[in-house]
Structure 1
Amino acid sequence: MRAFRPILAVLFLALFIRPGAAQEPIRMARTPDVSPDGKLIAFSYLGDIWVVEAIGGTARAVTSHPAHDTAPVFSPDGRWIAFSSNRHGSYNVFVVSARGGRPRRLTFDSDNDLVNGWSPDGKHILFASTRSIAFPASFELYTVPVEGGMVHRLNVDEGKEGVYSPDGTHIAYVRGPGAWYRKGYRGSANDDVWVCDADGSHNRQLTNFAGQDGSPMWSADGKTIYYVSEFHGTPANIVRVPVSTDPSLALRANNALPPQQITFHKDDAVRRARISANGAWIVYECGADLWMVATKEGAVPRKLAIEVDADDKVNPERPETFTSHATEFAVAPDEKHAVFAVHGKLFLTPISGTPKSVQLTEGQWMDHGAAWAPDGNRLLFVSDRGGHEDIYALEPDDAEHPKLVEAHKFKVIRLTDTPEAEFGVGYAPDGKSVSFLRGGKLWTMNPDGSDAKAIVDQPQVFDYDWSPDSKWIVYARRDGSSASELYIVPAGGPTPLNPARDVTRYATFNGDVSWSLDGKKIAFLGDRRGKSNLLVLNLQKPLAAGVTPPATPMIPTVDIDWDDIHLRANTVTTLPIDEAAISPDGSKVAFRGNGDLWVAATNGGQMTRLTTGAQNPRMIQWSHRKSPFGGFADVVYFLDGQGTLRAVKSTPQTVTDAKTTAESAPALLSFKVKLTVRADEEFTEMFDQTWRYLAENFYDPKFHGHDWDAVRAKYRPLVKHVAMKEDLYALLYLMMGELNASHLGVSGYGMIPEEQTADLGLVWDEAYSGKGLKVQDVLKRGPADKRGLNLKAGEYVLAIDGVEVTEATDLSKLLNGKVGETVELQVAADANAESKSRRRLMIQAASRNSHRQDGAVVEGVRDLMYDRWVENNAKKVTELSKGKLGYIHIPSMDEAGLERFLRSLYSDNFDKEAIVLDVRYNGGGTTHDQVLNYLTGHGHTLFRERDGREGPVVEAQDRKWNKPLVLLINNRSYSDAEVFPSAFHTLGLGKLVGQPTGGYVIGTGEVQLIDGSRLRIPRIGVYTPAGVDMDKEGVRPDVLVEPHPDQLAKGEDAQLAKAVEVLQADVAEWKKKNPPAVVLQPNMLKPFPSAPAAPAGPASAPPLFMPMAK
């Protein structure tokens, strides 16, 4: 049944601006800064930059643009403000007069650049950016001249929130993957404050508190650093410590005592603190307001009362027209109309003729899950209009037009009213009963909402479908071990004579069920031996040869042969599949595989691809319309990745886009939906959805000790104070941060860069400061690694597309919009080479990130940088161990990561004495047990052939590793990459080396908000055998090695070197306990009589075992 499958579609909506109430102090002003003399405050509000006197009052706008301007920073003389804005898609650095005017753009990259500060001489702006192609990826610190030109990276492997010391010789910055919004986190995935020289060298750690430290600020004399910390408890407050900038001293030496607390907020955390250049004042965010505090002893913070006079830049109510971005559809029984869900509203559209649509539901709520009554005169749907997701019916309320598809007025009737969410609503084929899911159970009720009863009273039911005669329901139910089976139960509920029967009896995953209209077959998806299979269950035994099957009546009576029914589930295809639907006559199954629509015969015969180009079909449905030639119309409906309804015959043909398909297929539906989007209602609904989804699904019913109702009461009134989607997201993050949990987030909205910055596949020498760019490395398999180019490390790129590369050149600007295009490089071995002596090389520029092209995944340059990192690590292990040890990095705990692991294990490392395993920078997944399976080998049998070849297994893929291991972990090992080392240690497979893992261990799901944003929900807790919640509890290494930025900047990996050292010692101990076994040579075996010579044939050896003849 597909009506309730989660759908993800992103709607890119126009921004709007709403003024604050007249003379009422504003709230949700963000990212403040204070002028050098402490007299003015700059901040971001309504997506613009504003300035107000430090005592508060009426603010004046510095910028006015529909985009989001943020993070203002005053210049040292107070005359200019640098800020970040996404007015060209990604966030770039801009500078504007503090009095206002036209901003000047300084950076042009398609990755985000976030302003941090100014150099004390006012000539450069310091910013943090994700533009680097390096692996591992992180924010790094860069500078750009105020007049524009070449961007330079500081020699620090990662950094953000950087600020120069007053004399310009040092930079204090933040290092770590911490989440700014999360309250109370304690673990290795936190942020700490560091100090380095102005060029990024001589890094020293200022804080080593296990919680969050951020927003470093220098005192005017450079002898004190203020910062925001939870050192004294949650929430975060401002603290200060004395510092020494002498590179020979560890900064902690002057930090023997706890940091001195400056502010003492009890309810809300301090965020984004900035100090005046004279060192007298600090401005900061706290809760939904801006505050100031003097740095003198005993000063009391004060909340700023700020007013603004702002006009709307975009109308709060805006008309929107949609011809795509539908999240759901439901075709009427006569297939002449369809209902679409667009932006949380239901619309009725004729399938043929004009695409004009009639709006069926209104309001700020999320209406979805539409299901037609069999007579076509009533709709059921699910809505949160009553505060939680309930079932409603929509009927015509028009005496002159009593048919639903002709009516001009409609009425909505509430059928359920429970605190638990209902979904998956549908009619029985005979229309006499309504089915739905509630609380993980399968329910039915009368069409008027009466007599609701749970016919499957055991959770967790997550999918179901009716038999065509309305007498049976097949459903998928998940047990406590995450396995799911299919069951068939009488529609009225189980009885002693007719209980619910397990019809798959294969406890892995079984789901996505659909029952054929002839009642004879059920199609479903199932995991078999670790692979996703499309299967068809035959409900009756096959007919004997020569027996003619009886004709199928108009409404077939379903006859089920229960005897060994589970053995009649036959695999149709093993192609990776996400969704499937069986045809009415049971002869075919349409399914999504590899991003496109396919159809296969249910007997496992012919398989045909119906679409190309990654159409990403979903909500796949067969037409039930009768064909004039007999049988059913051979048409499949689906929504494509753009939310457009398409139809295609199940024989190969081109998918059309608004007209009719071939022969008798129905018109392909083009729809045109017009509605008014009211921004305040949309934002309120998004907030309510976020809160409710977490209320209903968060894995800890005690919400980590928080009163979730009180959290709602605290944050919901703030929705009316935000007018930009970016600021709404920030508000949602603040609410979610109260939970102190991982795997939370909202995403989906974002400005698309006007131009993507291309990459040449070259690594530049950052230390070089002469003419052009000096090549440090040419990436293997990259754009510059082609025959005939002969570009080498040490050479210089002096011009790009005819533009000389100088300090006035912005490289990103030169490469914008050139992904896939040919770029001319002028290259020479001498940086001073004249134009005539340079080589002209033509290189096809590439994308930084992997992407899909013609349905296939194309590697990006960042993928090549990852491969380079792995290769360098493997070379280092080989060098340190003299070739005796192997190295395997597992990038992710998914099928792709497992494939990389197995290839490296068998092809590169199986003959090694031991292996260094590495799950640093691994974001997680679900394959920890599969990886462990290959690392826990114990010999039990020896298989030997007559020529002396022998081994412990028959099949190569059954080989297991049984020699020493060491496992590298760090604070970017997350989720399943934490479950894996925990199990690795518990099973005694080897030592753990590195840093504690992040403590980000939760099973998560994803839902869609009304605007198309995606919300992550932590739904499944993960616990150790002792009952310890692994979220917030990282796995600790046996050997702790903290990486140092100076080492990493030089390409040194202290964790890797220590892992080799530890493993070498373990190998020596292992050899003492496991002396080499005596290898039996062929001449030591008892000879067998010689056999006649075999005729010449294939060089490959026959299988070790052959099946016995019957």
Structure 2
Amino acid sequence: MLRYIYTCLFMIPSLAFSQEPILFPRTPDISPDNKTVVFSYLGDIWAVDATGGNARPLTIHTAHDFQPAFSPDGKFIAFSSNRHGSYDCFIIPAQGGKAKRLTHDSANDIVCGWSPDSKSVLFSSNRGLGYPGFSNLYSVSVDGGQPVRITFDEAKEGVIHPAGNLVAYTRGPGAWYRKGYRGSSNDDLWVANLDGTDNKKLTDFNGQDSSPMWSQNGTAVYYVSEVFGTPANIVRLDFKAGAKPVKITNHTSEGVRKARISANGAAIVYECGSDIYMIETSNPSKPRKITIKALVDDKTNTDRLVTFTQNASEFAINKDESLVIFGVHGDLYRMGISGVGKAVRLTDTPADDFGVAWAPDSSKAAFLSDRSGRIEVYLLESEDVEHPKFTEAQKFKVKQITNDEKPESNLTFSPDGKKIYFLRVGKLWSMNLDGSEQKEVVSLSMITEYSWSPDGKWIVYSRRDGSFASELFIIPASGPTKENPPKNITRYATSNYSPTWSTDGKRIAFVSERRNTPGLFVMEMQKPVANGKTNTDSGAIDFEEIHSRVSAVGSMNTTDAVISPSGSKIAFRSGDELWVASVTGGLVTKLSTGAVKPQGIYWSKKSTDLIYFRDGNGSLRTAKASSAIAGADLGSVSFRIKMMIKAAEENLEIFDQCWRLLADYFYDAKFHGADWNLVRQRYRPMVIHAPMKEDFQALVFLMLGELNASHLGLQMIVNPLEEQTPELGMLFDETFKGKGLKIKEVIKRGPADKRGLDLKPGEIIFAINGVELNPMVEVSQLLNGKNDETVALLVGAEIPPDPKTKNRRTVEITPMLRERIAPLLYERWIHLNAQKVSEMSNGRVGYIHIPGMDDAGLDRFVRSLYSDNFDKEALVLDVRFNGGGFTHDQVLNYLGAQDHTKFLHREGDKGAVLRSYDRKWTKPVILIINNRSYSDAEIFPNAFKTLGLGKLVGQPTGGMVIGTGSTKLIDGSTFRIPRIGVYTNSGVDMDTVGVAPDILVEPNPDDFKKGIDAQLQKAVEVILKDMQSGDLKKAGKEKILTPMR
């Protein structure tokens, strides 16, 4: 079935002059008179009669325009466009015309709708400063100017009540594209006054609610929901106490998305499947698909000529080191290792060719490709009569030599060139060069890599177990037998990987995590030779106690490593640089500077001083092992490739890669109940209708949403923002109605927190760089691009002591980019939380927030535990807004132990152990969680609860726990692949069920505006009460396990 994909690639129809109905029009809206539907297609805003027919473009721009919204009077259409890098709000006349830009901030401003009087546009944006940084609602005048903030906690998809006094919105971390999700990380509907006060929750369904729409008289809210089951449909909820939702559409195969109601309340339009539908609210049971045709030429060239001088995905050097094969954008090229001369193209298809390996005699090469629709092995040979040698050929033949549903990887030729070895779903296989006699060499799965001994007699491989530990094993090249099974040569069950042999076969260098961080190690294959004796068998391996013949090479954190041919040195990556060390660890030298990010390190067999590697930009680089000055002897093997890339073929290949990677590796072989083949059939035809990167990414996410799983995503390459909005380093009173900005707080260590500035809360900034601030001036527009410049602020009191002089002064500040302000806002949040806990407990209880389950988060936890909180009587531990990682056991290691020994100095204090960081926390602890505690920040509270360490306060976690990895696609995009399931002791898949708190506390937006953290307060109240009553821990401890599938 999948082979048909690539035979049809060159028959992709052009969208230009197509008479077929279009697919995947997005974000529709309908005019107040119900006669015209506007939508986004091909990155422009279009209009079509509500009955369907030929559409006409209202905007024509190379950027991405979407989210069109008719003004209630029908005169204008607002929309969002990334014409200046990020999305801003624009308006155009309803009949089309020149677009007027309303907002100028580098945050994404997404149009939601209009005010009832058509004088302002409502939009959502995360431009507001704070931690955590959520999206909120703003309004901006159709004349432009400073946007007015409406909500102060978290809000999107806002719609203003017809009376103009209320706003309904969605709140939560829900994923719009995910089908069937049930849990706390969903979106619910809320309503508030137009000044952001008196927030009330309208829906409490634990699935996704979205697209709120007021009825014409404001007595009901329509919205999209799965409350009646999957897929989503439109429901109606009367706006009164005790009302229950009523289902008004009945789509059974495809779900409803992105619905909008006309200003007169008579009609609703929405996305469903690949089309736009319309219903009349008076007769919603008969939805009508709007068939749309678009006679359109391409906005940009669909074929683009690209010159590559870097971005190579891999390099493979032949045995005599005269030639290199490298991959660029899915095709393979051959070039002289000197970089002189033209690169010869070896393959040319829309598919992804990769994983190339040279035959030892350079007569051919093998590679992997998805050109058949699956990953298979191919043989590449000369087909050039004039140049029959593969190393000189200009024409080539390609032969597929495997045909298996399971993907292959890690190709090598045996050193004698007679066999090809490869991994197939983690098992080691071999075959003849024509693909015959395929043999399972090692039947155990989860092998991640392997390496040949120089004489071709042995193979060392790394194999992982279900607990993420990996060991190194050696087998005969022909495969293990009952008499000669795989030999575990490391016997150190943490992680052991990246093995390479010295040329004489006497040593293996590898990376091992033996003290929490990966380091370099060298293993001797034989016992030392006695003095006066000679080694009679240099190729033999003495397996007796081989695991003990290991020595560490220095103490640096290491990832990739390669031993030199002589076995005397090791080249390795530490951080982002290339290093070399003697095997004794006595000499360690840094070879590179500038964060080269070395990958695929190869030590020359011809010149023992030469090292090849691929840098982070995809260039082939060289370094001299003897270099005494870092960076002084770095070289490069340059190439220049011109390639014609067809956009439609590229997008189809990326789509197929995404689908296939999940077909091959998704942790649940049943795909959470989705028919994965059918999913591909439904979504693939839409690809050619989504040439814009933004629409294509949305389409892929819709496909991913069918799996109802977390840790999925496609991150495409984006251009740097044209405009960036920096910050002055102050929080302002957003309820202030006067001219200028009223200072509420100066952010510590920010640009305004400098000696001599003397900026105080309550003061007013009246002007920036001589421009007087008033409602018609957007501050962001004045600051754009000023992050490395000094700006002049005119500052003074709101009511000056001398009305004549006004006592205003000029203050100069260099604004700071938001990415640098963000850590300061986080530290502010932590400080306020710790201060609140101390105040409530009279200093008895400490507070620690863990921002991520990673090394940085662990270090912060340990430092705070011992430096700030170890003398406290109890501890509030907080993992809200923690995105995960994998340090749950390390954190648990510090909690819940019992004192067993006391050490008493003759002069000094008494302590539990000698080293302070070995002390355990043995006192009461309570844990706060919420619906943004994800992944390992869910494994941790599950373990905390299971082990009876204390109580949980807050909201259920999101139920998003999967072991995941990522890979690069043909265009350089990054794609995430959930490969490992995580389950509770009772067998519950933690990617479907979150961890429930003992005390449920749902935060209210009104509390946020008042500076109240209800979850934090409840945690302190509970632990103080339990300290008094003695109820400090949960009963019923049991061993915590996280079995992997």
Q: Shorter chain as normaliser: what TM range? A: over 0.9
8 Å contact from structure 2 (residues 17, 295) kept in 1: no
The aligned amino acid for 2:541 is: I
The amino acid that maps onto 1:593 is: S
1:977-1028 residue CA offsets vs partner (Å, 9 max, x unmatched): 1111111111111111111111111111112221222111111111111111
2:792 equivalent to 1:796: no
Equivalent residue, structure 1, for 2:1042: none
1:90–1:751 Cα contact (<8 Å) kept: no
Deviations 1:610-657 (A, max 9, x none): 22222222112222224xxxxx2x12222222112211212347788x
Aligned to 2:371: 385
Mapped to 2, the partners of 1:697 and 1:959 lie a distance apart of 42
Structure 1 residues 299-353: Cα deviation after superposition (integer angstroms, max 9, x where no partner): 4110001111100112222222111111111123333322121111111223335
Supply the distance in 2 between the matched residues of 1:868 and 1:1008 (Cα, whole angstroms). Answer: 37
Q: Between 1043-1052 and 725-734, report the one with greater CA deviation.
A: 725-734
- 1:551-572 CA deviation, whole Å, 9 max, x = no partner? 9xxxx95232323211222222
Measured in 1, the distance between the counterparts of 2:40 and 2:105 equals 22
Name the structure 2 match of 1:1020.
Answer: 980
Partner of 2:362: 376
Q: Distance in 1 between matches of 2:339 and 2:547?
A: 47
| Partners of 2:568 and 2:89 in 1: CA distance | 60
Alignment partner for residue 615 of structure 2, among 620, 640, 662? Answer: 640
Q: Distance in 1 between matches of 2:629 and 2:140?
A: 51
* Whole-Å separation in 1 of the counterparts to 2:626 and 2:722: 40
**1:964/1:1070 contact within 8 Å kept:** no
* Corresponding letter in the other structure for 1:228: V
Residue 328 (structure 1) aligns with: 314
Partner of 2:712: 744
Distance 1:581 1:118 in 2: 62
When structure 1 is superposed on structure 2, of 938-947 and 41-50 the one drifting more is: 938-947
1:832-847 residue pairs with structure 2 within 5 A? 837-847=807-817
Question: Which residue in 2 is equivalent to 1:593?
Answer: 574
Q: Helix, strand or coil: the match of 1:668?
A: strand
Whether contact under 8 Å (1:17, 1:313) holds in the other structure is: no
- The whole-number CA distance in structure 1 between the counterparts of 2:1020 and 2:91 is 49
Q: Could you report, residue by residue, the CA deviation over 1:211-246 in whole angstroms, capped at 9, with x for unpaired residues?
A: 1111000111111111111111111111111115xx
Report the counterpart of residue 422 of structure 2 in structure 1.
436
Map residues 932-947 of structure 1 onto 2, 5 A cutoff: 932-947=892-907
Give the corresponding residue for 1:1053: 1013
Alpha-carbon separation, structure 2, partners of 1:173 and 1:454: 58
Map residues 991-1030 of structure 1 onto 2, 5 A cutoff: 991-1030=951-990
Q: Structure 2 matches for 1:497-516, cutoff 5 A? A: 497-516=483-502
1:127 aligns with 2:108: no
Pair 1:211-2:207 in alignment: yes
Could you report, residue by residue, the CA deviation over 1:68-110 in whole angstroms, capped at 9, with x for unpaired residues? 1111111222221111111221111111222222212222222
| Pairing partner for 2:996 from 1010, 1016, 1036 | 1036
> Partner amino acid for 1:787?
R
Higher relative contact order (CA 8 A, sep 6+): 1
Distance 1:812-1:583 versus aligned 2 partners, 3 A rule: farther
Secondary structure at the counterpart of residue 810 of structure 2: strand
Q: 1:71 aligns with which of 61, 64, 67?
A: 67
Distance between the aligned counterparts of 2:283 and 2:799, measured in 1? 56
Structure 2 stretches of 5 or more lacking a match? Answer: 1-11, 1034-1045
Deviations 1:400-440 (A, max 9, x none): 11222321110012121111100100122332332211121
Amino acid at match of 2:473: Y
Q: Cα deviations across residues 887-940 of structure 1 (Å, max 9, x unaligned)?
A: 111111111111111111111111111011111111111111111110021122
Letter in 1 for 2:282: K
Q: Retained in 2: the 8 A contact 1:73–1:116?
A: yes
Q: d(CA) in 1 for partners of 2:827 and 2:331?
A: 47
Secondary structure of the residue that 2:637 maps to in structure 1? coil
- The match for 1:420 is 406
**Aligned counterparts of 2:365 and 2:742: Cα–Cα separation in 1:** 67
Which letter does structure 2 place at the counterpart of 1:842?
A: E
Tell me whether 602-611 or 504-513 shows the greater mean CA deviation: 602-611
Aligned residue in 2 for 1:1105:
none
1:663-812 aligned at under 5 Å gives the runs: 668-812=636-780
Alpha-carbon distance, 1:839 to partner:
3.1
Distance 1:842 1:518, change over 3 A: farther
The one-letter code of the counterpart of 2:970 is I
Aligned to 1:272: 258
Equivalent-residue separation in structure 1 for 2:169 and 2:73 (angstroms): 22
Of 600, 603, 625, which residue of structure 2 is paired with 1:619?
A: 600
Matched residue SS, 1:578: coil
Amino acid across the alignment from 2:844: K
User: 1:1064-1103 counterparts in 2 under 5 A?
Assistant: 1064-1070=1024-1030
Q: CA deviation at 1:837?
A: 4.1
Is 1:574 equivalent to 2:555 in the alignment? yes
1:510 to partner: Cα distance = 0.7
Q: How far, CA to CA, are the matches of 2:140 and 2:559 in structure 1?
A: 47
Counterparts in 2 of 1:968 and 1:862: CA distance versus 1, 3 Å: same
Secondary structure of the corresponding residue to residue 892 of structure 1: coil
Superimposed CA distance per residue, residues 1026-1083 of structure 1 (whole angstroms, 9 cap, x where no aligned partner): 111111201111111110001111110111111111000111123999xxxxxxxxxx
Counterpart secondary structure, 1:825: strand
Indicate the larger mover: 784-793 or 504-513.
Answer: 784-793
Q: Among residues 289, 303, 308, which one is paired with 2:275 in the alignment?
A: 289
CA distance in 2, matches of 1:981, 1:67: 44
**Residues 1:25 and 2:21 are matched in the alignment:** yes
Q: Any idea what the Cα deviations from partners look like across 1:682-728, whole Å, max 9, x if unmatched?
A: 12211211111111111111111222222222222222332222222
Equivalents in 2 of 1:654, 1:223: separation in Å?
75
Contact residue 648 and residue 655 of structure 1 kept, 8 A: no
The 2-side partners of 1:1061 and 1:43 are apart by 52
Question: Is 1:561–2:542 an aligned residue pair?
Answer: yes
Q: What letter matches 1:954 in structure 2?
A: L
Whether 1:302 aligns to 2:288 is yes
What SS class does the counterpart of residue 682 from structure 1 fall into? Answer: helix
Q: Mark the runs of 5 or more structure 1 residues left unpaired by the alignment.
A: 1-15, 245-252, 627-631, 850-859, 1074-1110
- Distance in 1 separating the partners of 2:774 and 2:13: 41
Kept after mapping to 1: 8 A contact 2:279/2:287: yes
Matches of 2:530 and 2:807 in 1, distance apart? 84
In 2, distance between residues paired with 1:510 and 1:1014? 26
Among 73, 97, 103, the residue aligned to 2:93: 97
Between the aligned partners of 1:937 and 1:788, the Cα distance in structure 2 is 50
Q: Does 1:447 align with 2:443?
A: no
**Does the CA-based 8 Å contact 1:34-1:41 persist in structure 2?**
yes
- Report the AA paired with residue 41 of structure 1: V
Q: What displacement does 1:17 show?
A: 12
Q: 1:953 to 1:110 in 2, by over 3 A?
A: same
What CA distance in whole angstroms lies between the structure 1 residues aligned with 2:856 and 2:53?
57
Q: Quick one: structure 1 residues 651 and 96, their matched pair in 2 at CA, closer, same or farther if it must change by over 3 Å?
A: farther
**Cα RMSD between the aligned structures?**
2.2
Secondary structure, aligned partner of 2:995: coil
Instruction: Measure, in 2, the Cα distance between the counterparts of 1:342 and 1:682.
Output: 13
Q: Which moved more, 1:572-581 or 1:157-166?
A: 572-581
Q: Is the CA contact (8 Å cut-off) linking 2:519 and 2:559 kept in structure 1?
A: no
1:364 matched to 2:350: yes
State the shift of 1:294 in Å: 0.4
Aligned amino acid, residue 62 of structure 1: L
SS at match of 2:611: strand
Q: Could you tell me which amino acid in structure 2 is paired with residue 158 of structure 1?
A: E
TM-score (norm 2): 0.95
8 Å Cα contact 1:827-1:838 kept in structure 2: yes
TM-score (norm 1): 0.89
Matches of 2:284 and 2:579, distance apart in 1 = 72
Percent of pairs identical after alignment?
55
Closer, same or farther: CA 504–1010 of 1 in aligned 2, 3 Å: same
The 1-side partners of 2:333 and 2:534 are apart by 43
2:147 pairs with 147, 151, 160, which one?
A: 151
- 1:957 positional shift: 1.3
